Amino acid sequence: MSIPIIDAHAHYGKWFFPIYASDMRSIKDLMLRFNMKAAICSSSKAIVYNLIEGNRELFQSLDPSSGIYGYVTVNPNYLELSKDETKRYLELPEFRGVKFHTTYSGVPIDSKEFRELIEYAEPYDKPFLLHTYSQKDVRDVENLAKRFGGVKFIMGHMGGTETSWTGKNWKSAISASSEYSNIYLEICMTHLEAGKIEEAVERVGSQRILYGSDMTLLNPAHTIGMIMSSEISKEDKERIFYINARGLFKI
């Protein structure tokens, strides 16, 4: 890979699948293998289990000198704790954003609790990475983007895919992003549906599309290959791989 990469959607920690490349050394190896200059990681433990333990372990492992930055993970089921976590970590330069996963917490993206957390974190001026894997998730992000015009929202997985094979989730995400300039699209997902990146670039423009790997769950090559295969210009690829994230995360 000659093009440098910033990974806007990475994780640190284990998953409940047979994956052994989950520690910081593995992340650094993967970054080297794929010419990644930086990766913004959230804790898998904080997402699927305990936000306090997970955020703490992530903080102890971050290494900005190697390009490894963090998202603080919030769980609106624990509103006050999430506010404490936000305050504790977003003040630090190692943390470049907030991560929220609606599926594992069971809290909708456009919920009273999460809106309260956004209001709390807004002064830090750091983006929110939101897991989106349904049309409802996309609609929820649209609502938030409208309500919080000064906050930047990253739609993780670009709305995702579903078993209908229609692409309707990511098509909805593209529509939402074309409507609201504070919605960014991050494109990693297991399914490799050809054409989605071209459609996103055509309708949104490459300036608000971000490369994300989803490592340590997914292989960085998976999404790199999607971008390499997509029929867009070299300049668009450079923006998606590197330039957009450098600006968004102030790296």
Partner 1 sequence: MKIADVNTVFGFFPKRKIDCSLERLISLIEKYRISKVLTISLKSAFYNYVEGNEETLRVCNGDSRLIPVASVDPRAYLGGLDEIEELRKRGFRAVRLFTEFQSYPIDYAPLLRLFKNLEGMDLPLLIYNTGYGLMTKVVRETRGRGYPVIMLGCSYSALSEFIVLSIENPHLYIETSLLDTPDAFELLTRKVGSSRIIFGSGIPLNYFESSYLMVERAEISEHDKELILYYNLEDLLKGFP
Q: Which stretch binds partner 1 (CB under 8 A): 44-52, 85-93, 140-148, 163-171?
A: 163-171
Nearer to partner 1, 76 or 156 (CB): 156
Q: Which of 77, 103, 190, 233 binds partner 1 (CB under 8 A)?
A: 190
135 scored as a contact of partner 1 (CB under 8 A): no
CB 49 within 8 A of CB 55: no
Q: Which stretch binds partner 1 (CB under 8 A): 77-85, 135-143, 173-181, 226-234?
A: 226-234
164 scored as a contact of partner 1 (CB under 8 A): yes
Considering only residues 29 through 48, tell me which ones interact with partner 1, judged by CB under 8 A.
30, 33-34
Instruction: Provide the token pair at 55.
Output: 């955020």
221 scored as a contact of partner 1 (CB under 8 A): yes
Torsion sign, CA atoms 175, 181, 183, 185 = positive
149 scored as a contact of partner 1 (CB under 8 A): no
Nearer to partner 1, 32 or 81 (CB): 32
Parallel/antiparallel/unpaired status of strands 5-12 and 36-43: parallel
Long-range contact set of residues 47-56: C-beta below 8 Å, sequence gap at least 24: 47/11, 47/73, 47/99, 47/101, 47/104, 48/15, 48/16, 48/101, 48/104, 51/75, 51/78, 51/81, 51/82, 51/85, 52/81, 52/85, 54/13, 55/85, 55/88, 55/89
Q: How far is the CB of 178 from partner 1 (least distance, A)?
A: 17
Strand partners, 237: none
2 scored as a contact of partner 1 (CB under 8 A): no
Tell me how many residues contact partner 1 (CB under 8 A): 37
Nearer to partner 1, 83 or 191 (CB): 191
Can you tell me the distance from the alpha carbon of 74 to that of 87, in angstroms, rounded to the nearest whole number?
Answer: 11
Nearer to partner 1, 81 or 194 (CB): 194
Considering only residues 112 through 131, tell me which ones interact with partner 1, judged by CB under 8 A.
none
Instruction: Provide the token pair at 40.
Output: 């913004």
Strand partners, 42: 11
14 scored as a contact of partner 1 (CB under 8 A): no
Q: How far is the CB of 11 from partner 1 (least distance, A)?
A: 11
Q: How far is the CB of 109 from partner 1 (least distance, A)?
A: 23
Which residues of this chain interact with partner 1, rule CB under 8 A?
Answer: 15, 17-21, 26, 30, 33-34, 163-167, 171, 190-195, 215-226, 228-230
